[in-house]
């Protein structure tokens, strides 16, 4: 096998190590959607910002790396759909279409796209080493900001500089800590999985 084919080969993600493909996949998708809903309830409101600090990005990005791009994004589509149809699973127990596509809607949609990005990077083996895992999670976080901040501007009429501050800058330190924590967990999970 050539070096080129090794670098482009499809690698497994952690979820691929579990048996029973269809039932496994459905269960994992539901589990990551539930983890996202649970993490949404870990909430610290920020004065002047409609976007609170939550545990969601940790759950979203870690779930995407563990499940891969399709299952990870499916988990976030399920989370968004269940919240939009009325289950009180968004931050602070919120629900409904108005909330799902309100001021923080861009971040919720960003979870789906970020899951595709992080999952695809995990498929390429980025989650096997701390630096690669952290880089993948940072890329996912940037995607969430890239969709969340413009949406925040449109939904609230907030000036660009205020939206950049309230919708991204105030979260950078916390998101960096989450990326480092998840970046350390993923390679450790691989080491445990590969012992068997």
* pLDDT tens column, 9-21: 678 887 777 777 7
Question: 47 or 144: whose pLDDT is higher?
Answer: 144
CATH classification (class only), 12-190: mainly alpha
Cβ neighbours of 171 (radius 10 Å): 23
Distance CA 167, CA 104 (A): 9
Question: Of 89, 85, 93, nearest to 33 (Cα)?
Answer: 89
Chain position carrying tokens 């080491």: 191
- Judged against a pLDDT cut of 80, whether residue 195 lies above it is answered with no
Residue 190, pLDDT score: 85
pLDDT class of 48 with cuts at 50, 70, 90: confident
35-42 mean pLDDT? 95
Residue 5, pLDDT score: 46
Helix, strand or coil, per DSSP, at residue 49:
coil
27-44 mean pLDDT? 95
Distance CA 2, CA 15 (A): 27
The pair of three-digit structure tokens given for residue 17, joined into one six-digit string: 């190590």
pLDDT tens-digit readout, 111-148:
999 999 999 999 999 989 999 999 999 999 999 999 99
152-157 mean pLDDT? 96
Distance CA 32, CA 98 (A): 23
Chain position carrying tokens 């969340």: 148
């Amino acid at each position: 096998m050539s070096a080129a084919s090794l670098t482009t080969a499809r690698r497994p993600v952690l979820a691929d190590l579990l048996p029973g493909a269809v039932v496994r996949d459905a269960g994992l998708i539901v589990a990551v959607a539930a983890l996202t809903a649970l993490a949404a309830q870990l909430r610290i409101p920020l004065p002047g910002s409609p976007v609170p600090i939550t545990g969601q990005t940790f759950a979203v990005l870690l779930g995407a790396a563990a499940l891969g791009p399709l299952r990870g994004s499916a988990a976030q589509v399920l989370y968004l759909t269940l919240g939009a149809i009325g289950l009180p699973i968004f931050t602070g127990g919120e629900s409904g279409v108005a909330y799902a596509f309100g001021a923080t809607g861009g971040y919720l949609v960003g979870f789906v796209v970020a899951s595709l990005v992080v999952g695809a990077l995990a498929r390429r083996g980025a989650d096997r080493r701390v630096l690669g895992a952290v880089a993948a999670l940072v890329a996912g976080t940037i995607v969430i900001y890239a969709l969340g901040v413009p949406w925040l501007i449109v939904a609230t009429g907030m000036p660009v500089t205020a939206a950049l501050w309230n919708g991204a800058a105030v979260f950078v330190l916390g998101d960096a800590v989450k990326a480092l924590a998840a970046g350390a967990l993923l390679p450790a999970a691989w080491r445990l999985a590969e012992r068997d």
